[in-house]
Amino acid sequence: MLNIIAISGSLRAASTNSALLAALAANAPADCRVQLYDGLGRLPIFNPDEEGERTPSEAARLIEMITRADGVIVSCPEYAHGMPGGMKNALDWLVSGEAAVGKPAMLVHASPRSLYARAALAEIMRTMSFALFGGGLEIALLGKKPAEIEMILDEEANRQAMREAVRAFAGSIRGQNVTSSY
Ligand SMILES: Cc1cc2nc3c(=O)[nH]c(=O)nc-3n(C[C@H](O)[C@H](O)[C@H](O)COP(=O)(O)O)c2cc1C
């Protein structure tokens, strides 16, 4: 069983990125457990003076979760051509230690735009030594209302695409050279 942590960069209750990750978790293959990280909004703003023995409890929890995980999936909105501060803040807490080093990661997208945020995430996560998976998934949910989002994510083609994306990522984690159709 692979244990994968999913991080949404949005704190909105009706977040399209969080909805996408919840659907990914629900449609993951039976041999993958995808768990959503729920602490982004509780993380204190990163301060290197607060690392080590002084690491705040939520940051320590995040570091522990990523350390134990077999992989990480991120879905993140774009604000003003960047990633939201909360997402960057979470990554900043992971820079100094070993949690991110060689950790398989996959980016998925709930918006067909957000190209700056995608590029920035990829650049930052590669710099942190995440092993960024070449595949991914995009399901356009931008501007959709919750009921519509639910309908789109429940479409068989999208459920299959989500299952396939996680399967391909899991395959790459297991070193089976599975390539995504994305
Ligand atoms: C303050 C703000 C700035 C935004 N800036 C951009 C942007 O620069 N580029 C873009 O593609 N979308 C931008 N958006 C749209 C969001 O990325 C979009 O609403 C996204 O669905 C939000 O993700 P969520 O549904 O998970 O909260 C912005 C939204 C907000 C609230």
pLDDT tens sequence across 131-160: 999 998 999 999 999 999 999 999 999 999
- Under the banding of pLDDT at 50, 70 and 90, the label for residue 176 is low
Give phi and psi for 8, each to the nearest 5. -95, 135
Question: Which residues form ligand 1's pocket by a CB distance below 6 Å?
Answer: 10, 12, 15-17, 77-81, 110-111, 113-114, 142
Structure confidence by residue, pLDDT tens digits, 120-131? 999 999 999 999
Please state the domain extents for the chain: 2-173
Q: What's the mean pLDDT in 40-68?
A: 98
Q: How far apart are CA 37 and CA 24, in angstroms?
A: 13
Regarding the domain delimited by 2-173, which CATH topology (the fold level of the hierarchy) does it fall under? Rossmann fold (3.40.50)
Which amino acid would we find at residue 180? S
Name 80's Cβ contacts closer than 8 Å, sequence gap at least 6: none
Q: Whose CA is nearest to atom 21 of ligand 1?
A: 142
Atom in ligand 1 nearest the alpha carbon of residue 113:
11
Percent of the chain residues topping a pLDDT of 90: 96
pLDDT above 60 for 179: no
Q: Ligand 1 centre from 43 Cα, in Å? A: 21
- At residue 78, the pLDDT reads 98
Question: Residues 91, 128: contact at Cβ < 8 Å?
Answer: yes
Q: What is the pLDDT of residues 78-102, one digit of tens each?
A: 999 999 999 999 999 999 999 999 9
